[in-house]
Structure 1
Amino acid sequence: MSLLDLWTAGQETTTVTLKWAFSFLLLHPQVKSRVEEELLSITKGQRPLSVTDRTNTPYYNAVLNVLLKEIHRCALIVPMNFWRVTSEDTMVGSYFISKGTSIAAQISSIMTDEKYFIDKYQFNPDRYLTGDRIEQVVVPFGFGKRACPGESLAQAELYLMSSFDYHNFPYFESPKVSER
């Protein structure tokens, strides 16, 4: 994997995530309105949001966190993880995997598993507010030592870019748009 691979992957996923965020927010105008109110209370419509404003935008932060997880789950922006090669023979459940085998986590099968998501094709950010362990299932940036190295940059970009669009462009609800 080269630096160009990492840069391209980060640019593409962040751009696609922003596009989906705008789409889902158009379908949920009550969330969009509340975010707009909070952002206007900080910027007074006179300046763009800054990363230093993050501590003053709790609802927007929560929406971005939840939106990010639910967008990655519904839109399957990253359907599978990077390929790895096993360094030793191992067992995964009842399956034997020999040393040198190429493997990848099929993230899309986890994010649409009916064991965790009863209405798996329904965009529902509220599912993350129940206090159950669902956040441990949806990990768009991975976790541990193999987590995405650009997570904090992507989070900052999503925070600033989506707030820039709120500040500069009106959103109009379309009666012809639906989730499915």
Structure 2
Amino acid sequence: MRLTDNGSRPLSLKDRAEAHYLNATLAEIQRHASILSVNFWRYNYEATTVKGYPVDSGAVITAQLGALHVNNDIFKNADKFYPDRFIEDPKLLNQVIPFGIGKRSCVGENLARTTMFLVFGNLLLRYDIRPHGLFPSTKNQVPYTAAKLPDKNVELEFVKL
């Protein structure tokens, strides 16, 4: 609220650098959602070894990005929704990679991050958003798949501030 003069103006991109808790919350949402939990499939052209495991030529391989987001070695109490982890350790922001990494990462990442910041930030400035009934489950409905299924049993209530 301080950034927008108590909500008298919309949140803008110039506020992004100062909106630490909003940025941390968005990172935690992306870590929990991890909607596309695997990267693109790759074809292994020659036999190799990965961490001591043999991988034959002709094998189809991929990185399971979603597994990184729930790794307790990286994110303590990974099953808990806790945005403060990114305030306490800003380096953790680099460990959340919902858009992939490297030359094959999503080309729309900057647009998506910008849109999430503006849409969620401005919604939160104007509404108290509450679950109507139970909180949504963060449990993975179908683990070890290419994409997560959302919990469709939740209804949200938007109460104007």
Which bracket does the TM-score occupy, shorter chain normalised? 0.5 to 0.7
Instruction: State the partner residue of 2:128.
Output: 171
CA apart distance, 1:163: 3.5
Pick aligned residue for 1:54 from 13, 30, 47: 13
Q: Tell me, yes or no, if the aligned pair for 2:21 and 2:84 is still in contact at 8 Å.
A: no
Instruction: State the partner residue of 2:96.
Output: 138
Pick aligned residue for 2:33 from 65, 68, 75: 75
Task: Give the partner amino acid of 2:57.
Answer: K
1:125 and 2:83 aligned: yes
Q: Within 1, Cα distance between the matches of 2:15 and 2:76?
A: 34
Task: Give the partner amino acid of 2:18.
Answer: Y
Task: Give the partner amino acid of 2:30.
Answer: H
* Alignment RMSD: 2.9
List per-residue Cα deviations over 1:103-133 (Å, max 9, x = no partner): 1111222211222233121111111223374
1:4-153 equivalence runs, <5 A: 37-38=1-2, 40-41=4-5, 44-45=8-9, 48-49=10-11, 53-60=12-19, 62-131=20-89, 133-153=91-111
Task: Give the partner amino acid of 2:110.
Answer: S
Tell me which protein shows more helix as a share of its residues: 1
* Residues 1:100 and 1:117: Cα distance change in structure 2 (over 3 Å): same
CA apart distance, 1:87: 3.4
* Number of equivalences: 137
Task: Give the partner amino acid of 1:122.
Answer: K
* Residues 1:115 and 1:140: Cα distance change in structure 2 (over 3 Å): same
1:160 and 2:160 aligned: no
List per-residue Cα deviations over 1:17-62 (Å, max 9, x = no partner): xxxxxxxxxxxxxxxxxxxx145328724xx44xxx32234333x3
SS in 1 for 2:54: strand
5+ long unaligned stretches in structure 2? 138-161
CA apart distance, 1:179: 6.5
List per-residue Cα deviations over 1:69-114 (Å, max 9, x = no partner): 2112223322222212223322111112223321111122221122
Tell me which protein shows more strand as a share of its residues: 2
* Identical-residue share of aligned pairs (%): 30
TM-score, normalised with respect to structure 2:
0.67
The ranges of structure 1 where at least 4 consecutive aligned residues each deviate by more than 4 angstroms after the TM superposition are 172-180
5+ long unaligned stretches in structure 1? 1-36
Q: Within 1, Cα distance between the matches of 2:55 and 2:40?
A: 17
Q: Within 2, Cα distance between the matches of 1:39 and 1:177?
A: 32
Q: Tell me, yes or no, if the aligned pair for 1:66 and 1:125 is still in contact at 8 Å.
A: yes
